[in-house]
Amino acid sequence: METALATTVMLVALMTASAATLRMHGLRQQNRERVVAQNAMRSIVEQVHAVSAAARNDADELNSWAEIMQAAFAPGGDIGNTFLVPELTPRGPALPVGTLAVFTDETLTDAAIGFDLGMPRDLNGDNAADDTDVTDDARILPVLVTVQWRGVSGTNQMSHAFYVLGY
């Protein structure tokens, strides 16, 4: 009887320790995925700021800054609006892990963008936030970087929104 009771207590303790170890492994993997996603977003944000600074320097006039930015980060642009994160698994076979959106429509709202950026906002400095395309004369552009992946805890998403300045 004592042996059976001792064996039962040992089995319960072993199962508890195994469950805790498995949970810790899963949390460690989730944390690693989040760090990889944050590093990928940080890298893209730095790239956007670098392109913005180069566009300010290369622009013949300030009005062409937004055109250079749009040409670089639009779908099919020089850099494009999607990026890979090799360490993360895409949500689907044809879906990118990372996306980047540069908004040139002043009339968009935060709800339409899906992030609190303070939109609508006057992007071209004409004291009105009613232009639907400010590619020609924008002075400030909102950018949204999103990373979506399938991980150990299911589908995950991280987003970061910021502004780039053409001044």
pTM (whole model) above 0.85? no
pLDDT band, very low/low/confident/very high, at 12 (cuts 50, 70, 90): very high
For residue 105, which of 91, 89, 122, 125 has the smallest C-alpha distance?
122
Digit-coded pLDDT (tens) for 128-144: 888 888 888 888 999 99
DSSP 50-81: HHHHHHHHH-SSGGGHHHHHHHHHSTTSSS-S
Task: With beta carbons less than 8 A apart as the criterion, state whether 124 and 139 touch.
Answer: yes
Q: What tens digit of pLDDT does each residue of 90-129 get?
A: 988 888 999 999 998 999 999 998 888 888 889 988 898 8
- The domain segmentation of the chain, as residue ranges, is 2-165
Query: Quick check: bond before 96 cis, omega within 30?
Result: no
Rounded to a whole number of angstroms, the distance between the first and last alpha carbons of the chain is 82
Q: Tokens for 79?
A: 């850099």
